[in-house]
Chain A
């Protein structure tokens, strides 16, 4: 209840995909590219679905909260920062910054970005989303509904389900 109210207030502050040409370009071209790349990364590194959804949520909120849309050459850096932060938050085993940077290479197999670039992007991302990484996303609800279906009596209290 309080959580939902909080979320509504925050949502109202987000002008998600405002009606601008670059916004439409991002939504129709860049976002699908980034998301499918994230899906590939997550399955290749065997990361959890939670990390994937958190990364996409970070991506969306960053784009919604930023004035200037990320230019073409930083899109992949943005994607890297999203998945790196999401995995720092969600995963037990951690990849190092160098591992992430190695995922983005040009046609000659040279890395596109340096470790420092990733760090700066992470910071910019965090400050843009006000450090809010734990945001409920569709997967959270999916898991919750699934859990409810498994336990026909009704909503399983968090404590009972965490055994």
Chain B
């Protein structure tokens, strides 16, 4: 029932549904319509011809929006001239290793094999697997640089669920169930040393690549983390990373203050913002700019100081003259959560990343003491 309602509420397909891409991909998938677009590529709904299964095909590089973004101040040479973009490389390398119920599954990475690049074809004709170094004709780039990532198709996401069911936040069991799954998926990623770095329920302009998917088939609300376009492997210990990640509203204070040595606590902060947005039906820290977001955080949670957050003074953008707020009560911040839920949110939104609760510890929090029956019998809307 939810599925039918979703289809009706969905924006109509654009006139040219596949934007000049082949409708048939490698005689294996039939591209049907565009369902989303993000910084790093366009997503189509498609059918796997052999099995009849619906899949999501994400196109990266080439004719799609290249996404030559400036991340961290440095130019990211993500255009097709540069071959496989680093963001695609990271996303694919990570996703192929992740297999978990709460992480969207990457089925395959492929190219459009019907359009081989001329130089490679010539080299193949010459009998070698390797083309000769000098010359070889300059055919590369172009369409052969396009990559197709084939995912399991999930037709619902947290944002749309919230739009369709305004009372979702009042459904304490469902909120708990979704929160638990989000943390399970996150814990799994962190155990495999993968940072997501871009958790958010929001989509920009209605065509965004949806990030927290919910599989409503079979009556269960199975949450799946998707869009690892900004994700990154981290070492133990981590090295300096780019601070310009995570959409503004979900960006934790250590990043807003310019910290460059961060890790899995970043995702925990974003996850808490997502959960409270789900519960309150309103974004928690909807800042227009970095400083605005930071002040919204201070205003709600109270301003941090060296006592609550050792090392605060060393962060590049920290200024002692930033306004000081006493903060609000947790009853006010999370009115619909029970006391255990509020306590979990308080721990997930701890300023000092070192003291912030980990995803693994969050799963053992008393808030989830009664999760067992919910897992056996998923709560309904």
Using a CB-CB cutoff of 8 Å, which residues 76-92 of chain B contact chain A?
76-77, 81-86, 89-90, 92
Please tell me if the beta carbons of A70 and B191 are within 8 angstroms of each other in the complex: no
Q: How far is the CB of B111 from chain A (nearest CB, A)?
A: 8
CB distance from B360 to the nearest CB of A (A): 7
Contacts of A144 in B (CB 8 A): 236
B355 CB, min distance to chain A CBs, angstroms: 10
The reply to whether the CB of B330 lies closer than 8 angstroms to some CB of chain A is no
Query: What is the minimal beta-carbon distance from A151 to any residue of chain B, in angstroms?
Result: 10
- Docked Cα-Cα span, A147 to B239, in Å, equals 13
Choice from B89, B123, B129, B240 contacting A85 with Cβ under 8 Å:
B89
How many Å lie between the Cα of A120 and that of B109 in the bound state? 16
Partner-contacting stretch, out of B93-101, B166-174, B212-220: B93-101
Given A73-B133, A94-B77, A144-B236, check contact A116 B89 (CB 8 Å): no
B353 beta carbon closer than 8 Å to chain A:
yes
Contact B140 A120 (CB under 8 A): yes
- Specify which of B120, B238, B239, B264 is in contact with A120 (CB 8 Å cutoff): B120
- Decide yes or no: A85 and B84 within 8 Å by CB, A116-B138, A116-B141 being known contacts: yes
User: Interface digits, A82-100 against B, CB 8 Å rule (1 contact, 0 not)?
Assistant: 0011001100111011000
Max chain A CB contacts within 10 Å: which of B90, B140, B241, B353?
Answer: B140
Q: Does B41 contact A (CB under 8 A)?
A: no
Query: Cβ of B111: which chain A residues have Cβ within 8 Å of it?
Result: 123
A79 to B: closest C-beta gap in Å: 12
Chain B binding surface, main DSSP class: loop
Could you tell me if A159 and B190 are in contact, using CB atoms closer than 8 angstroms? yes
CA distance A112 to B131 in the complex (A): 12
Nearest CB to that of A121 among chain B residues? B130
What interface size band does chain B fall in?
35 or more
Cα-based distance from A126 to B61 in the complex (angstroms)? 16
B136 interfacial contact with A, CB 8 Å: yes
Most chain B CB within a 10 A radius of its CB, from A88, A112, A122: A88
A101 to B327, CA, bound (A): 55
Q: Quick check: B145 and A119 within 8 Å, CB to CB? A: yes
Task: Provide the bound-state CA to CA distance between A132 and B360, in Å.
Answer: 27
CB of B321 within 8 Å of the partner chain: no
Given contacts A77-B133, A134-B94, contact A89 B89 (CB under 8 A): yes
Minimum distance in angstroms from A78 CB to a CB of chain B:
9
Chain B residues positioned under 8 Å from A123 (CB to CB): 83-84, 111, 144
Answer yes or no: B235 CB below 8 A from chain A CBs. Answer: yes
Show the binding face of B for A, using Cβ within 8 Å.
Answer: 72, 74-77, 81-86, 89-90, 92-94, 96-97, 109, 111, 117, 119-120, 123, 128-141, 144-145, 190-193, 233-242, 261-265, 353-354, 358, 360
Q: List A residues at the B interface (Cβ < 8 Å).
A: 3, 48, 50, 66, 68, 70-71, 73-74, 77, 84-85, 88-89, 92-94, 96-97, 112-124, 126, 130-134, 140, 143-144, 147, 156-163
